[in-house]
Amino acid sequence: MSRTFFVGGNWKMNGSISKYQELVNNLKGARLDDNSEVVIAPPYMYLLPAQELLKGNNRIQIGAQDAYFKPSGAFTGEISSAMLKDAQISWVIIGHSERRTLFHETDDEVAKKVQAALDENVKVILCIGESLEQREKGDSIKVVIGQLDAAAKSVKDWSKVVIAYEPVWAIGTGKVATKEQAQEVHAAIRDWLVKAIGQGDAEKVRIIYGGSVSGANCKELAAQKDIDGFLVGGASLKPEFVDIVNARL
């Protein structure tokens, strides 16, 4: 498989000054697979301090967990992709299910945020995924492809985008998708990419899985043909994050 493995750590709204120092220092000191691209996404207030701690380290990149689509203005509480670019933050997570459900973010807003990030040259981890109800109705692939269709109109260069398939029912529940369930959706996403951008480019796009990934379950998922890495929540706050980064070793 020629795609570089990709592992993102989404800390969500967790951490503290001492915790981010511990996590970053642990990662810096760990042996990480050279073929694994690693991005950590701490809360906004720890982005720059984490960047400072990682000075001189070119193995670990930093991402934000969201960014608004306007570059600046009267949008209390928001930060923009223009600001991320200014601060040399190279990645941003967009469309996470917690944003979509708890903060009512629509497909249209997700598309605008993707557009704004790519316009600023900030790379995007685009999250998509179905709810339990949608899965039980047999609509998983339909939902995921619908979310992709909505965001795709903002993407001209897919080399700047990683697609994260995160079934909502698997996030933070300890109920990881089976390797067959995950591979089935990843293959459908790959087929969609082939139709959208052609076989050659579609083969280069990383499609990563998120939802209760752990040190214990990452290896068998990582062995699937279309699973090119992970977006990790809870386990990214623990030492086992290193095992997930090294899932292909």
Query: Which residues belong to the active site?
Result: 96, 166
Residue 211 or 229 with smaller CB distance to ligand 13P = 211
Which residues are within 8 A (CB) of 91 and not within 5 positions of it... i.e. 6 or more apart?
Answer: 8, 39, 41, 61, 62, 63, 64, 122, 123, 124, 125
Helices (H), 87-178: 97-102, 107-119, 132-136, 140-152
Residue 84 or 202 with smaller CB distance to ligand 13P = 84
- Which residue of this chain has its Cβ atom nearest to ligand 13P in the complex? 233
Residue 75 or 103 with smaller CB distance to ligand 13P = 103
- CA distance readout (Å), 152 to 100, 107, 138, 205: 17, 10, 23, 13
Distance CA 206, CA 110 (A): 19
Q: Is 211 in the site for ligand 13P (CB under 6 A)?
A: yes
Q: Is 231 in the site for ligand 13P (CB under 6 A)?
A: yes
Q: Is 129 in the site for ligand 13P (CB under 6 A)?
A: no
Q: Contacts with ligand 13P: how many residues (CB under 6 A)?
A: 14
Distance CA 192, CA 145 (A): 7
Question: What string marks each residue from 162 to 181 as x (binds ligand 13P by CB under 6 A) or -?
Answer: ----x----xx---------
Q: Is 218 in the site for ligand 13P (CB under 6 A)?
A: no
Question: What string marks each residue from 1 to 40 as x (binds ligand 13P by CB under 6 A) or -?
Answer: ---------x------------------------------
Q: Looking at 30-38, 116-124, 138-146, 231-239, which segment touches ligand 13P (CB under 6 A)?
A: 231-239
Helices (H), the chain: 17-29, 47-53, 81-86, 97-102, 107-119, 132-136, 140-152, 179-197, 199-202, 218-222, 241-245
Nearest distance in Å: CB 175, ligand 13P = 9
Q: With beta carbons less than 8 A apart as the criterion, state whether 165 and 210 touch.
A: yes
Interface pick for ligand 13P out of 61, 210, 229, 246 (rule CB under 6 A): 210
Distance CA 103, CA 202 (A): 31
Distance CA 243, CA 5 (A): 13
Q: Is 208 in the site for ligand 13P (CB under 6 A)?
A: no
Q: Is 232 in the site for ligand 13P (CB under 6 A)?
A: yes
Site for ligand 13P in 82-121 (CB under 6 A): 96
Alpha carbon 228 to chain centroid, angstroms: 11
Q: Which residues bind ligand 13P (CB under 6 A)?
A: 10, 96, 166, 171-172, 210-213, 231-235
